[in-house]
Structure 1
Amino acid sequence: MSHDEPSPWSRVPLVGPMPNKGMLAYIDEAGQRSHTPKSSDHFVMSAAILLEEDLPRAQAFLARLRIDLNRQPGHHLSWKNLRSHSDRLHVSKSIAQQEWLTISAVVVCKKMIMQGVDYKEEKIAYLHTLRFVLERLSWLAREGDGLLTYHLAHVVRFKLSQLREYESSLRGNPYCRVAWNHMDPAGGSLGQPQESEMLQLGDLTASAIFRGFEPDKYGYTETRYLQELTPRFYRRGANLTSYGLKMHPWNETTKAAYPWVAAL
């Protein structure tokens, strides 16, 4: 079996037969898509995944989180508006306790990319990362005998017609590993976290992961948010870096640069 082939879905709450289960994924990103001297060194795309039947639990969780953070009902929860380390740590810990939730994310280490996809063009970078995410979402759905619908946080200069065009190209790509029989044939949708509450889960998880890799203005990173989230990541046994937290690229150079990732 190659490093990126699908494997059994081992998240305990969803083990066992689940015929025709509806599944939902809410995807957002953190960092700049482009690869320029002024852009971030990393780009993260994260999916928060749950069963349709667990939507009320997810809504109740976000409502409780707003109370904890002294926010008004319906307030748009965004990582950038969490001003203190304490609030960010509380959010990460709280997400980690939600057994109905699964996270799968891709971390692009732009400085490590030497060949292949041209990450200097932001649209190509975004779509190539999305492909990695969709592959993993479909594997989750296949192992859970479910049908998954995904929702993307809208990004600037990216239209729904472009998403449909890309989905069509992936279907014709023999190297694409998406299990299409377990993906909603209508395709994904685009939305705003301000309007689609569940996309806020994608924002919070993507940004928590991003802070573990991207240095702040003083050169510091904070890996604790990511470490707190690890119980919720999709993994095969002990294997996190192929499924729940795919690093791109993941080679000897990257492993040496991020030795702490292997211990997650």
Structure 2
Amino acid sequence: MTHSYVAYIDESGDEGIGNFREPGKRGGASKWLILSAIVYRFQNDLEAVRWRDEIVANMPKKKTRTLHFADMNHGQKLLTVKSLSALPVRCISVIDYKPLVPDSVFEEKNQHYFYLTRYLLERLSWLCRDLRPTVPEGDGRVKITFSRRGGMQYDDFREYLRHLKRDTQNDIRIHWPVIDIDSIDAKDHSKLAGLQLVDSVASAVANGLEIDIYGNCEPRYAETLKPITYCRKHNYFSYGMKFIKPLQELKPHLNEEQRRTIDLFK
């Protein structure tokens, strides 16, 4: 039997700790690492190509069908997130503010990424479980595809998940019946419409938190995606906008625009 859902996962930011980029200067590590997922019914996977093409069709000067949020101007970004917010999809983001991460915590390559992915898959699994009464088709599981990233061995990631599944000592709250570990895959961003859509989700959240070279961030993109962001009983912060650090610890380090992005989901 086929899967009930598909999920595409992408990130914004990098794993670098220290030498963070500052306004007015080029180079340096991002201050935020954000992992996002977009989730929809498996039967709509081919529809995602049409969704992507309809967004591109409203950008008359665009020369390719591929969506990449970083290459868009402000108007195109707003068009994209407004279009996404009208689709039968849900999105989830897990967010970490790296200046508060001690240097010694994530010493191995991809360790920080794996750690955030654990929290993302927890919420992804809860969402699929929650939606199951309204999604009768398929076997209840989700087919997960990552946007391929350099230096990432996906066999290692699948083994990491198997380790979490065997772990009975720690508070691992993934609802395992919906997670198909063996089918987890990675594809190039340009190959799949779903990966291009989730790139816009991760980048939209990042634009509201990561200060650009001019000292600004833009909360409107994340705000526009609020209607499709996973929540329970109006609680976004435990579900579709999961911050790893407590908000009361984060806010003294943030400017007004960054705090506004967070406050949008109160």
User: Which bracket does the TM-score occupy, shorter chain normalised?
Assistant: 0.7 to 0.9
1:173 aligns with 2:167: yes
User: In 2 relative to 1, CA 122–228 (structure 1 residues): closer, same or farther, beyond 3 Å?
Assistant: farther
User: Residue 134 of structure 1 aligns with which residue?
Assistant: 121
How far residue 21 of structure 1 moved from its aligned partner, in angstroms, is 6.4
Count, aligned residues = 242
User: In 2 relative to 1, CA 216–66 (structure 1 residues): closer, same or farther, beyond 3 Å?
Assistant: same
Name the aligned partner's letter for residue 223 of structure 1. Answer: P
Contact 1:29–1:203 (CA<8 Å) still a contact in 2? yes
Root-mean-square deviation (CA), in Å? 2.1
Equivalent residues in 2 for 1:97-116, closer than 5 Å: 97-98=86-87, 100-114=88-102
1:31 aligns with 2:18: no
User: Residue 82 of structure 2 aligns with which residue?
Assistant: 93
User: In 2 relative to 1, CA 230–167 (structure 1 residues): closer, same or farther, beyond 3 Å?
Assistant: same
Aligned-pair identity in percent equals 25
Residue 49 of structure 1: which of 19, 39, 48 is its match? 39
- Tell me the secondary structure at the aligned position of residue 194 of structure 1: helix
Which stretches in structure 2 are left out of the alignment for 5+ residues?
20-27, 133-139
User: Residue 14 of structure 1 aligns with which residue?
Assistant: none
Alpha-carbon distance in 2 for matches of 1:239, 1:262 = 12
Alpha-carbon distance in 1 for matches of 2:214, 2:63 = 33
1:211 aligns with 2:199: no
Contact 2:143–2:183 (CA<8 Å) still a contact in 1? yes
User: Residue 144 of structure 1 aligns with which residue?
Assistant: 131
Contact 1:92–1:225 (CA<8 Å) still a contact in 2? yes
Dislocated runs of 4+, deviation >4 Å: none
How far residue 93 of structure 1 moved from its aligned partner, in angstroms, is 1.1
Contact 2:223–2:264 (CA<8 Å) still a contact in 1? no
Contact 2:158–2:181 (CA<8 Å) still a contact in 1? no
Name the aligned partner's letter for residue 15 of structure 2. Answer: R
TM-score scaled by structure 2?
0.84
Alpha-carbon distance in 1 for matches of 2:219, 2:33 = 16
How far residue 55 of structure 1 moved from its aligned partner, in angstroms, is 2.2
How far residue 88 of structure 1 moved from its aligned partner, in angstroms, is 0.8
Which stretches in structure 1 are left out of the alignment for 5+ residues?
1-19
Alpha-carbon distance in 2 for matches of 1:81, 1:105 = 21
